């Protein structure tokens, strides 16, 4: 599976009842879930949230293999950090488990949100909720050109493999460094070209964002149901374990 396919929001364009909900309501539910995960004092609530979100993500049509691949990166990083902390600072296993569960819960919430909401609708909703225009425009451009750079990385890596650039560890490190440097230089060139192209198309410092439709009663009902579910889960798993 290519990096572009792995991080694409193609599954968010499917038609299901979660995808049809107002993105502002989904952002509100995601924010509440993230707040609960961060405030949790035990691993139980984040794990419960992650199970709910991962089950819903698979239920809306995202392949299990892709879910596992998207989780692999952040979980590997936090696992490495916890291991180093335990080895160097003699940290407790309980604190390490709590950190891993929080990361898993947070990533699962974001994964479900992006699985049922296309990226452009998320950015539109963020702007409608009051996020500064410059931040939203920057996020849009970063998201757009991330895939261009990922395709570039894939092409450069394939060309190096043909030339036996990864035949041994030393060559592999050298080839990886060349790819990283090339991508940095190309990203600067791409930024200049993108800005010039936007100016030719009439960009004068602001991207237009149209109004969003008023949320319907189904949207408000879904938000209320999500908040009640999160609050009930928090009460059961946090307060009873306190």
Q: Give the closest residue to 24 by CA, choosing from 95, 130, 98, 154.
A: 130
Q: Is the pLDDT of residue 77 over 90?
A: no
Q: Tell me if 96 sits within 8 A of 54, measured CB to CB.
A: no
Would you state the pLDDT for residue 203? 75
Q: Give the closest residue to 137 by CA, choosing from 127, 125, 147.
A: 127
CA 163 – CA 146 distance, rounded (Å): 26
Full-model pTM: 0.80
CA 78 – CA 82 distance, rounded (Å): 6
List Cβ neighbours of 219 (8 Å cut-off, separation of 6 or more). Answer: 21, 22, 24, 25
CA 100 – CA 96 distance, rounded (Å): 6
Provide the pLDDT confidence category of residue 2 given band limits of 50, 70 and 90.
Answer: low
The total number of residues shown for the chain amounts to 242
């Amino acid at each position: 599976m290519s990096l572009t396919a792995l991080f694409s929001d193609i599954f968010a364009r499917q038609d299901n009842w979660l995808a049809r909900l107002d993105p502002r309501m989904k952002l509100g539910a995601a924010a509440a879930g993230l707040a609960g995960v961060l405030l949790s004092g035990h691993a139980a609530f984040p794990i419960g949230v992650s199970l709910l979100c991962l089950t819903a993500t698979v239920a809306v049509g995202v392949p299990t293999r892709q879910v596992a691949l998207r989780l692999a990166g952040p979980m590997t990083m936090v696992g490495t950090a916890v291991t180093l902390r335990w080895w160097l600072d003699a940290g407790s296993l309980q604190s390490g488990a709590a950190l891993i569960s929080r990361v898993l819960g947070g990533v699962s919430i974001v994964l479900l949100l992006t699985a049922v909401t296309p990226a452009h609708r998320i950015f539109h909703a963020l702007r409608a909720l009051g996020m500064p225009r410059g931040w939203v425009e920057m996020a849009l451009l970063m998201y757009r050109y991330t895939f261009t750079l990922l395709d570039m990385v894939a092409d450069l890596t394939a060309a190096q493999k043909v030339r036996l650039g990864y035949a041994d560890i030393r060559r592999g490190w050298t080839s990886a460094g060349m790819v990283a440097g090339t991508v940095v230089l190309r990203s600067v060139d791409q930024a200049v070209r993108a800005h010039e192209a936007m100016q030719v198309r009439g960009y004068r410092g602001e991207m237009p964002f149209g109004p969003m439709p008023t949320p319907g009663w189904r949207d408000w009902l879904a938000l209320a149901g999500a908040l009640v579910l999160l609050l009930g889960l928090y009460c059961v798993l946090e307060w009873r374990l306190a």
